[in-house]
Amino acid sequence: MAALLENFIAGKWVAGSGEGTLLTDPVTGEALVRVSSQGLDLAAAFDHARKQGGAALRSLTYAARAALLAEIAKVLQANRDDYYAIALANSGTTKNDSAVDIDGGIFTLSYYAKFGATLGDVHALRDGATVSLSKDRSFTTQHVLTPTRGVALFINAFNFPSWGLWEKAAPALLSGVPVIVKPATATAWLTQRMVADVVKAGILPDGALSVICGGSAGLLDQIGAFDVVSFTGSAETAAKLRAHPAFVEHGARLNVEADSLNSAILAADAAPGTEAFDLFIKEVVREMTVKSGQKCTAIRRAFVPKQHLAAATDALVAKLAKITVGNPRNESVRMGALVNREQYDTVRAGIAALREEARVAFNGSAVELVDVDPAVAACIAPHLLVVDDADVATRIHDIEVFGPVATLCGYTVAATQDSSLEEAHAIALARRGQGSLVASVFSNDEARLARIALELADTHGRVHAISPSVAQSQTGHGNVMPMSLHGGPGRAGGGEELGGVRALDFYHRRAAIQAPAATNEAVLQATSSANP
């Protein structure tokens, strides 16, 4: 029987009861490890994290906590080969796709380590300038940010077992808040191993970092008023979380990153044959295939001027036909597997739903898979669908197929001399996603990019605007950088993560100190600016 991974809670490694849930190789079906959270003393785990981990972290300065993040990054860097092996076995990802998760997590840690060092040897942050409350300026107010005296619970998704942990844990630990992570069961192995390596290295104070593998039953029942919860997953599950007494009655904070029908827009000036057109095609294909399309930021809808729909279709099909899919252990394979057969069935059902109002331009079902048994492996080749009238279509704006699937749509270019309005139809179509994490715009005209980006900003957490001048330096539509905001309004969950210093806000409490001017002068001396 496969080995049972232990949970790390209350400063101890503890095995859950029962046989647990089996984790398998999504390519070969091989049994890997088991996980279980049954029988754990969750109350003791949360109490230990708050009292021991929280107190120890808050006793350190921001600079000291930043130094701990740097040490964690070193430990993870030293064990990268093991992490890649686990990702290959448990997630079925190619080496390049594993790097997005593993190296992306390490990079985010390193970024917050460097940023945190600039906050200095203080225990609180000041937010904004001191403001006088009296005519003689003797009585003033100064807003400050102090770490919340609770625990940060992360309920994470299956697609990023490394980055999903560290992009949340880095700002939490830097803020002085202990972390309990509950990774998605299907890919929990990598998260558990990373936590184990950090624990073994003895870097963090007792209680600062815990991991619970298996089911999430009972976790929210432990949440108190000053705890925070960050959830990544489906909008359906998020709705259930929001209704929990922890948030409704106790007022605990909840950050949600949920479903997102992200868009890419080809601007009216980017005709076939221009560099912006080629960049658009390249990016759509990349976002369809990186991590087999299993990214919350992947392009799901691509909008092009109707007169360029045929050319864009042909260009995308030509590139997708070159993607080899199958066992990532084969060096010729460029795209690996979905996370498991359950997800495979879900993606197949999603494609069938989209096909009811869209035609298939590239049918991945006809692609021969490399070195896999199609009856066992969770491998599926890319599918490109095309909609001629995106106004009439509804499913493409409502159904997110979490795999290598995108829909190409034509939009009508407005007949106007005001170039800022030419893409109005595409912008309206993008907004039908009801709030998304990211939209990309491709144009040869950088002023046009600015106008479109500002129009999209109200319904998107991030706008990725690309011209030929940044062809080599742009970071990618779906690549979440720690300096930029990750999150989105509406359907995308309404949450906010990362964004440099903004990530710390979720883990701090803001208060106004109304006091004599001399007192607030002392406050200034004891704090660091939240915007260094």
Contact 368, 380 (CB under 8 A): no
Which strand (E) or helix (H) includes residue 247? helix 245-248
For the sheet containing 209-211, what is the strand order?
A: 12-14, 7-9, 209-211, 179-182, 152-155, 228-232, 253-257
Give me 98's structure tokens.
């594993």
357: annotated active-site residue: no
The SS3 of residue 168 is helix
Closest CA to 301 of 476, 414, 440, 160: 440
- Residue 219 DSSP class: S
Cα 227 from Cα 379, distance rounded (Å): 39
In which residue are the tokens 């009296």 written? Answer: 134
296, 409, 422, 497: the active-site residue = 296
Query: Percent helix, strand, coil in the chain (nearest 5)?
Result: 40, 20, 35
φ/ψ bin of 210: left (φ > 0), alpha (ψ from -120 to 50), beta (otherwise): beta
- If you write DSSP's letter for every residue of 509-525 in order, what string do you get? EEEEEEEEHHHHHHHHH
| Catalytic residue of the set 167, 257, 422, 497 | 257
Q: Is 497 a catalytic residue?
A: no
Residues marked as catalytic: 257, 296
